[in-house]
Chains A and B, each alone.
Chain A
Amino acid sequence: MSDSDEPGEARLDGNAAGALLAEVFRCEPSMARAVCSGCGAIAPVGALWAYGLEMGAILRCPVCDTAIIRVGAAGTAIVVDLRGAVSVRFEVVP
Chain B
Amino acid sequence: MARAAIPGRLIWQRASVTDTRVETPRATTLRLAAPDWSGHVPGQHVDVRLTAEDGYQAQRSYSVASAPEAGLLELTVEDLSDGEVSPYLTEELRRGDQLELRGPIGGYFTWTRNDGGPLFLLAGGSGVVPLMSMLRYRAAIDSDVPATLLYSSRSWDDIIYREELERLGAESGVNVVHTLTRSQPAGWTGYKRRIDRAMLGEVMDETQGAKLAYVCGPTALVEQAANDLVALGYPADRVKTERFGPTGG
Contacts and interface: CB of A to CB of B under 8 A. Distances in A.
B243 A13 contact: yes
B220 A26 contact: no
B96 interface: no
Interface in A1-33: 1-2, 4, 8-16, 18-19, 22-23, 26-28, 30-31
A46 B106 contact: yes
Contact of B246 (A9, A14, A16, A44): A9
Contacts of B7: 26
Nearest to A54: B247
A53 interface: yes
Range for the number of chain B residues in contact with chain A: 20 to 34
Interface residues of A, number: 27
A26 B107 CA distance: 13
Interface of A: 1-2, 4, 8-16, 18-19, 22-23, 26-28, 30-31, 44-47, 53, 94
B10 interface: yes
A56 to B, nearest CB: 13
Contacts of A94: 107
B10 A19 contact: yes
- 9 shortest A-B CB distances, which residue pairs? A46-B108, A2-B246, A28-B107, A30-B108, A18-B105, A31-B107, A12-B245, A18-B106, A12-B243
Contacts, number: 83
Contacts of B245: 2, 9-12, 16
A51 to B, nearest CB: 9
A23 B12 CA distance: 12
Contacts of A22: 8-10, 105
B108 A45 contact: yes
B103 A31 contact: no
Contacts of A12: 219, 243-245, 247
Interface in B35-50: 45, 47
B6 interface: yes
A26 B244 CA distance: 26
Contacts of A44: 108
Interface string B45-77: 101000000000000010000000000000000
Contacts of A1: 246-247
B240 interface: yes
Contacts of B47: 19
A92 B245 CA distance: 31
Interface string B174-217: 00000000000000000000000000000000000000000000
Interface in B94-110: 102-103, 105-109
A27 B108 CA distance: 12
